[in-house]
Amino acid sequence: MKRVRFTTLRSSRNYGAGLLTAVLLAAGGVLFEAEAQSKKPSPAQKSPAKERPESAAKPQKPPPGQRPPASDDLYEGPGVAEPPAASLKKPAVPPAAPAGAPAPVAEPDVSKPYASKYADAWPSEYRPVPADLLPGLSEENKAAAIAAFAEAEGHAERGNADKALRAYQKAAALDPADARLAVRVARELLKTNDPTSAIQVLKDSIAAAPKIPTAHLYLARIYADHLQKPDFARQFAEKALELAPDDFQPWKALLDFASADTSGKKVAELIERAMKSPSRDADFWLDFAGFLRKDCGLENRKTPSDAEKKRIESVYQKALEIAPESASAIAQYGDYFALLRDHRKAIAKYEQALELKQPATHPALENLREKLATTLVADGRRADALPLLERLVNENPGRNDLGMMLAEVYDQTGQTEKALEYYQRSLALDLSKPDNHVQLALTLIKAKHYDRAIVVLQSAREKFPDRPLVTFWLARTYSFAKKHQMALDTFEAAQKEIKGRHEELATEDFYFSYGAAAEQAGKFEKAAELLKKCIEIKPDDPQGYNYLGYMWADRGEQLEEAGKLIQKAVELDPENAAYLDSLGWWYFKTGKFEDAQKHLSRAVELMASAGEEDATVLDHLADTVEKLGKKDEALKLWKKAVKLESDIREKIEKKIADAEKK
C-alpha cells in the first residue's frame, strides 16, 4: 500500500518539479503566441514589392464556410458543414490516365467536417476550444497558486523573506486544499513567530481537504512545540493516525508528546499499542524499530535490556515478514546488530542485503559495502575485509578516508610496505590534515624508516606550527632514531606549545615519553622528575612506576624505592613480561638470585607464549643463573640472545667470549 507521508515538505524538490511543469503548461499560451510571432518573416526577410503580387503579400481570409487555399503551411480553419452538391458528383470510375502519366492525386474528401492537410496545431479563431476542455475555476486557482509558489521560491532563493512569505500565503489562499503548500506556509509563518496565522492556514487547509492527514499532523506539532497545549496536539495527532494508520509519523508525534511524562508510563502504553498495529506496510515497522533504537539509547552506545532487544528484533522481523526481499530492510536490521556490536550477525545481514543486488535507493544501502568492510575489521576478519576495501579504494580513488582505512588494515595485518603505499597516497590526496602526516610517520617508524619519518614530521611541523601533537611525535621519532639531544630539545618545544593552550595534551603518555627520552640521553634527574609527573597524572598506570624503578635499579640507586615502584607496576599488571623482568632484575641487584631467577624465567615464558624474544631479558636471566653456578645454562642463554637484534649485542658477545675461556 502506498502511504501518505507526512514529510512531504521536508524537501521542496519534488513539489517544485511538479510546479515547474505546471507553470510551463500554464504559460503555454504565451509561449505558443511568441512562437507564432516568431514565425512571421522579419522585414529583412520580406521580398521586394515589385517581385511579389499584392494578393500574395496580404492573403485574404476566406468567406465563412469556404476552405482556405491548400498550402504546405499548417491549415487552420473550419471544414465545410454541407459541401456543394456539384462537388459530390464524381464519376463512379475515374478515367484511365494516359500511358506514362503520373498517378492522379486524390482530392480531399470535403464531405468531412475537417479535411485539412495537417491536423490543427492549436485552437484559433477558426477552431474555438470545446467548452468541456476549458479550465474550471478550481483549475485556474491551482495554476495561479503554482505561479505564486514559484514566485515565492524565487524570492526565497534571493533572500527576500518578506516577499517570499506573502507569495506563499497567496498560493495557499488560492489552493487551500494543497496540504503540502499549507504546511510550507505555516513553517514560514513560524519563522516570523506567528503561530496563530500558521494555525489558521492549516485549519483552512483541513476545511478544504479534511481527509489529508498532513495538515493535522503539523498542526499537532505547533500546538505541542509552540503553544505548549499537549491535549490539542494529541487530538490532531490522533486524527492524523486515523487518516493514515499505515504511517508511523503520527505514532512518532504521539510518542514525542508522551515523553513529557517523566515516569515513562505513557510512552510504554503507546509502544504496546503500536505493537498491536495491523499495518502491512514494512516501512511502518522499520520506522518503529528506528524509534525503539533511539528510545532505549542504543544509538548513544547504551546497551539495551534483554526485553528491549527482544522487542526491537520482533519489530524488524515483522518488517521482513512483509518484505522478505527488501535489501534496505535487511540492511537496517544489520545496522541494529552493528550498534549492538554483534558483528557476526551484522555481517550476515549486510552480506544478505548485498546478494540481492538492489539499487541504493535507501540511505541504508548507500554505503553498504563500506559498512560491511568496517564490521569485518571490527570482528577481527581483516583478511576478509582487505579485498573489499581494495575494490572500494580503486572505485573511489578520491576517497581519502577509504585509503586511510585500507592503509590501517594493511598495517594491522603486518603488511607495512603496502600500508606505507596507501598512507603516502592518502597524504598526497589531502595535505591539510596533520593526522595524515602523523599516520604516515608512525608507519615509517614501525618499518624502522626513522629518517623518512623525521622528514615527514619536520615538513608537517612547518605546515602546522600550532599543532603540538606533531611536535610530540617528531620528538619521539628522534628518540627512536637515537638522536637523544634533538629528542630532548623537541620535547621541550612541545611542552612550551602545550602550556596554556593545549593542556589536554599534557597526559601521562607525554611525560612518560619525555622522561624516557631524558633517561636515554643520560639526564637521569630530569628523567626521574618527568616520570614522577607521569605517575602523578595517572597513578593507576603501571608504565611510569616500572620505568622509574628499573632506571634506579639498573643504576644501583635508591634500591628500596625502586623495588616499591616495580612491585606496584607488577601489582597493576601481573602478567606483563617487561614488568616481571624489571622485578627479577631488582632482585638480582639486591643479591636475591633465587627470586630473580623465578621472575625472570616467568618473563621469558610469557614472551615465548606470545611468540616473542628479547635479548635484554635473556641476558638478565643468563647473568642470574651464572650467579647460581649454572654456567652452561648461562652460556646457552647468551648464545640465544646474541642472535637477536639489540643494542647490547657487543656486550653479550664479550660475555660469551669470557665464559668460553673459563
Q: What is the pLDDT of residues 364-385, one digit of tens each?
A: 999 999 999 999 999 999 999 9
| pLDDT-derived band at 106, boundaries 50, 70, 90 | very low
CA distances from 451 to 422, 427, 455, 481, 494 (A): 19, 18, 6, 7, 20
Q: What is the pLDDT of residues 464-509, one digit of tens each?
A: 988 999 999 999 999 999 999 999 999 999 999 998 888 988 999 9
| Span of 370-374, 393-397, 575-579 with lowest mean pLDDT | 393-397
What pLDDT score does 123 carry?
53
On the question of pLDDT at 440 being above 60, the answer is yes
Q: What is the pTM of this model?
A: 0.58
On the question of pLDDT at 55 being above 80, the answer is no
Range of the domain at 339: 280-380
- The answer on 339 and 300 residing in a single domain is yes
- The answer on 143 and 249 residing in a single domain is yes
> Secondary structure of the chain: what % helix, strand, coil (to 5)?
70, 0, 30
CA distances from 34 to 27, 30, 37, 44, 135 (A): 11, 6, 5, 19, 22
Element (H, E) at 428: helix 416-429
* CATH number of residue 188's parent domain: 1.25.40.10
Nearest residue to 303 via CA among 342, 259, 350: 342
| Stretch 288-293: mean pLDDT | 96
Written as one letter, the residue type at 195 is P
Q: What is the pLDDT of residues 639-654, one digit of tens each?
A: 999 999 888 999 999 9
- The answer on 16 and 145 residing in a single domain is yes
Residue 275 belongs to some domain of the structure = no
Which has more confidence, 650 or 108?
A: 650
Please classify residue 653 by burial: count the beta carbons closer than 10 Å to its beta carbon, then call 0-12 exposed, 13-18 middle and 19+ buried. Answer: middle
DSSP string, 205-268: HHHH-TT-HHHHHHHHHHHHHTS--HHHHHHHHHHHHHH-TT-SHHHHHHHHHHTTSTTSHHHH
| Residue 613 DSSP one-character state | -
| Span of 44-58, 268-282, 368-382, 538-552 with lowest mean pLDDT | 44-58
| Stretch 391-408: mean pLDDT | 90
Final residue in a domain of this structure, among 353, 380, 407: 380
| Span of 286-290, 301-305, 525-529, 533-537 with lowest mean pLDDT | 301-305
- The answer on 310 and 216 residing in a single domain is no
| Stretch 399-424: mean pLDDT | 89
- The answer on 189 and 300 residing in a single domain is no
The percent of residues above 70 in pLDDT, for the chain, comes to 79
On the question of pLDDT at 53 being above 90, the answer is no
- The answer on 149 and 29 residing in a single domain is yes
Nearest residue to 163 via CA among 198, 188, 128: 188
Residue 591 belongs to some domain of the structure = no
The structural domain count of the chain equals 2
What pLDDT score does 371 carry?
96
- The answer on 315 and 249 residing in a single domain is no
Final residue in a domain of this structure, among 380, 400, 417: 380
Alpha-carbon span 427 to 460, nearest angstrom: 11
| Stretch 134-141: mean pLDDT | 63
| pLDDT-derived band at 149, boundaries 50, 70, 90 | confident
